[in-house]
Amino acid sequence: MLSLSRQSWLEILAEAWKVYPLEACGLLMAESARSGQSSSGQTGLDKPIKVFRPIHNAAQSSRIFQLDPMEYMKAERAADDAGLEVVGVMHSHTHTAAYPSPTDVAEATKPLVPPTWHWAIVSLAWGYPELRSFRVAEGQGDWSTRSGIAEERVWLNG
């Protein structure tokens, strides 16, 4: 489940519109467990999102995104200072549904992308923004397809 405030939800949709016709991207942050085990994904998978932080799309493309590495680094530092940690990534699809593309699956299953990360995707393909969220990792998804994609509920918590 992706639990977030209406404020964060609006910020995410606004960022997608703002960057259109290019793909937008950003990071989702939740309270850090400070235990050193929080990012291993054993517990607290559905901690509510406290901050959405837009990140410049270094690819400057309407088809792909790449988090600007420098902004990513600064976001990590800001998260540390605020007692938060990165728990997911958001990006927009300008021409297709809010569903992980083959490129998304390939990138999400790379070694350093935690299988616990939320993959929040905003589609602008239909003229109105639609936000859906997924877990994308080996073994995720329907048993019959093993697509690596499991949709999760988006829950507005206030």
Decide if residue 111 touches other proteins (CB under 8 A): yes
CB 21 within 8 A of CB 94: yes
Distances (CA, A) of 11 to 17, 21, 69, 80, 100: 10, 17, 21, 21, 21
Distance CA 72, CA 40 (A): 20
Within residues 119-158, the interface with other proteins by CB under 8 A covers 119
Decide if residue 109 touches other proteins (CB under 8 A): no
Work out how close the CB of 50 gets to other proteins at its nearest, in angstroms, rounded to a whole number. Answer: 14
Please state the separation of Cα 96 from the chain's center in Å.
17
φ, ψ at 83 (rounded to 5°): 70, 30
Decide if residue 77 touches other proteins (CB under 8 A): yes
Q: Which stretch binds other proteins (CB under 8 A): 9-17, 108-116, 137-145, 146-154?
A: 108-116
Distance CA 87, CA 129 (A): 22
Tell me the three state secondary structure of residue 123: strand
* Residue that has been written with the tokens 């697509």 in this structure: 147
Q: Compose the 29-68 pattern: x for residues touching other proteins by CB under 8 A, - for all others.
A: ------xxx-xx------------------x---xxxxx-
Q: Which stretch binds other proteins (CB under 8 A): 13-21, 45-53, 75-83, 147-155?
A: 75-83
- The residues that touch other proteins, with contacts defined as CB under 8 A, are 25, 35-37, 39-40, 59, 63-67, 69-70, 72-73, 76-77, 79-80, 85-86, 89, 91, 100-104, 107-108, 110-114, 119
